[in-house]
């Protein structure tokens, strides 16, 4: 298979397409608004608590983990709605599994936040 020659302009365009996907997600998806508010709150609280570098790494990984899962979940929902707009048990299974991935990311992130912040109040 013949691939296109490497081009910095093409790579920049690919970056803008990806950035555009994130902007659309934040603009139109209600779940993104919740994640946005939660992210601002967690970052503000972490700054206020002056957490250590290793704690920042854990917090930033959690934020990235949840945002990534939510974006993938939303993409899967859009694929399913596009391919199969009618109700179907398989669609439900696929969407619920994708939503389950977000739930796991959120619960793990919440537990990590508790591990970081609770000792600061003891
Ligand atoms: N086409 C479909 N066929 C069968 N079940 C569906 C279909 N679309 C959604 N569902 C199911 O209906 C329930 C509600 O889905 P819906 O997408 O409305 O809410 P949600 O998961 O809270 O979504 P959102 O992330 O948009 O808030 C879920 O269990 C989902 O799997």
Closest-lying ligand 1 atom to the alpha carbon of residue 95: 31
ipTM reported for the complex, 2 dp: 0.92
Ligand 1, residues 28, 71, 89, 95: which to mutate, most atoms within 8 A of Cβ?
A: 95
Dist CA 99 CA 72 (whole Å): 10
State pLDDT tens for residues 2-24. 688 888 888 899 999 999 999 99
Expressed in angstroms and rounded, the spacing between residue 92 Cα and the centre of ligand 1 is: 7
Expressed in angstroms and rounded, the spacing between residue 91 Cα and the centre of ligand 1 is: 9
And the tokens for 92? 């439900």
Determine, yes or no, domain membership for 56: yes
Q: Which amino acids bring their CB within 6 angstroms of ligand 1? A: 31, 87-88, 91-92, 95-96, 99
Domain span holding position 26: 9-121
Look at the chain and report how many structural domains it folds into: 1
CATH number at residue 56: 1.10.287.3610
The pLDDT assigned to 2 comes to 67
- Kindly report the pTM of this predicted structure: 0.91
Dist CA 121 CA 117 (whole Å): 7
State pLDDT tens for residues 50-68. 999 999 999 999 999 999 9
Determine, yes or no, domain membership for 95: yes
């Amino acid at each position: 298979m013949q691939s296109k020659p490497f081009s910095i302009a093409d790579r920049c365009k690919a970056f803008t397409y990806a950035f555009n996907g994130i902007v659309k997600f934040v603009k139109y998806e209600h779940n993104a608004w919740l994640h946005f508010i939660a992210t601002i709150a967690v970052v503000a609280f972490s700054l206020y608590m002056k957490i250590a570098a290793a704690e920042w790494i854990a917090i930033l990984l959690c934020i990235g983990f949840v945002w990534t899962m939510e974006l993938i979940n939303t993409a899967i929902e859009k694929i399913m709605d596009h391919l199969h707009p009618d109700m179907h048990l398989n669609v439900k299974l696929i969407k619920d599994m994708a939503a389950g991935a977000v739930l796991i990311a959120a619960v793990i992130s919440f537990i990590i936040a508790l591990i970081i912040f609770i000792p600061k109040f003891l």
